Structure 1
Amino acid sequence: MTRPHFHVVRSGDCIESVAAEVGCAWRDLWNYPRNQALRERRSSPSLLKPGDVVHIPEQLRPSPLRLRPGGTHRFRCELLRTTLRVRLVRRDAEGVRAIAGVPYRLVVGMTSIDGTTTADGHVEAEVPVNARYARLELSPGTSDAHLVDLDIGHLDPVDDGDGVLQRLHNLGLLRGSPTGEALTDAVATFQREHGLTSDGVLTDETVAQLREVHDG
């Protein structure tokens, strides 16, 4: 009988990045029977929390490389990529509107990607699966340029307290260090914008709506 190995999730990890590190298809890793509890606890393979345990079966572990001392060796490596999606919105007196048709430059490592936000405010690009940080510049080279730093893979699950705070912050409803009053006001504003009872109480219905709006 094979003995499964395991990987303890670090900040920025997702199933795709763990699978790339192991050298297997992410679906094989995610669907491994020993990871059933993880699948039940986390609704998406992209949303893991530091400390989560991913079990890795013996047959998926990478084989060691055998090298000759003093020799020259060549290796072919495949750079795995995943899709990064970001939706940009503007909140003002008229409500929440998509930032549409705006030129942008996305910098990931040494790679720069230019494009224009879609009609619903989306930025979408293929990035290395192990990318952890990116910088998004809107209207680059103009007086209206605006920089946004992105921590890729650092979003916690929404059913975790930190995950709720992160989503409210990303939606522009929470700024700085959250206090009890600021958090209540942010939740109440979110509820009001989405037709829920605006009492500032983080109900299951509110959390579900927050997941739908933010995670899409």
Structure 2
Amino acid sequence: MAKSHVVRAGECLQSIAALYGFFPDTLWRHPANAALAAARSHGSVLAPGEVLEIPARRDKEASAPTDTCTVFRRRAVPSIVRVRLDEDGARHSFVGLPFRVEMPGLPQIRGEVDAEGAVAAFIPCDAGSATVIIDPEGAHERRIELRLGALRPVDTPEGARARLRNLDYLPADAPEDEATPQARRALRAAVRGFQRDHGLEPTGELDAATRRALTVAHGY
């Protein structure tokens, strides 16, 4: 039976699809979700309260003999998480270094930083958080804490702040309550810095052009 799913904090297209037994693309391309897909450039970034329509699932039957052991595998689509560490433009100094991804209750993932200075790993859809450790126990060790599914759309105050913070324009300890003058001043200063670095007029306003540039710079 078809139903409507109201997005909760920490959920994204991938985790919702896994919950109902669908591939993410199946939900995202469903005609009933066309308006949401048009409003959001990426299904991984949904806002709490938005509604994703879930179509009726078609069950599949398979025959198997009774005198042998038959193995059925549940297909799943892990999410590709890509993180780039850029310290004062020195991203390429991390190329080739080993990394480890730790997730609560799940096996570790290991690999090497790619030629773009980024960590790319397949993360299970039910992972709510992860710790990326570059060069574990080495001279260049860096730790990055990730809250998976927590990023809001760029057209929300929380989404814009998170991207500015991730790109190191907004200090991690900057106040977030928009009702306070301190928070508004910190945000405007961060926006002006970002605009100057990306060839935009430094107005301090989160206009459409700034949000587009912010999405491109952040990656989504």
Identity of aligned residues (%): 36
2:87 aligns to what SS in structure 1? strand
Output aligned runs, 1:81-100, within 5 Å: 81-91=78-88, 96-99=89-92, 100=94
1:25 and 1:103, CA in 2 relative to 1: closer, same or farther beyond 3 A? closer
Normalised to the residue count of structure 2, the TM-score between the two structures is: 0.81
Output the CA distance in 2 between the equivalents of 1:187 and 1:97.
Answer: 23
Give 1:167 shift: 0.1
Instruction: Give the ranges of 4+ consecutive aligned residues of structure 1 lying more than 6 Å apart after TM superposition.
Output: none
1:161 and 1:62, CA in 2 relative to 1: closer, same or farther beyond 3 A? farther
Kept after mapping to 2: 8 A contact 1:22/1:62 = no
Output aligned runs, 1:132-211, within 5 Å: 132-142=128-138, 144-175=140-171, 176=173, 177-178=175-176, 179-211=183-215
1:105 aligns to what SS in structure 2? strand
More strand by share: 1
Question: Which residue of structure 2 aligns with residue 117 of structure 1?
Answer: 113
List alignment gaps of at least 5 residues for structure 1: 64-73
Question: Which residue of structure 1 aligns with residue 25 of structure 2?
Answer: 27
Post-superposition Cα deviations, 1:125-175, rounded to whole Å, max 9, x if no partner, equal: 111122211001122113543322101111111111110000001111112
The residue identity in structure 1 corresponding to 2:188 is: T
Determine whether 1:104 maps to 2:108: no
2:25 aligns to what SS in structure 1? helix
Q: How many residues align?
A: 199
Question: Which residue of structure 1 aligns with residue 54 of structure 2?
Answer: 56
1:111 aligns to what SS in structure 2? strand
Output the CA distance in 1 between the equivalents of 2:72 and 2:158.
Answer: 41
List alignment gaps of at least 5 residues for structure 2: 61-70, 177-182
Give 1:204 shift: 1.3
Q: CA RMSD in A?
A: 2.2
Output the CA distance in 2 between the equivalents of 1:80 and 1:26.
Answer: 8
1:90 aligns to what SS in structure 2? coil
1:121 and 1:106, CA in 2 relative to 1: closer, same or farther beyond 3 A? same
Kept after mapping to 2: 8 A contact 1:22/1:61 = no
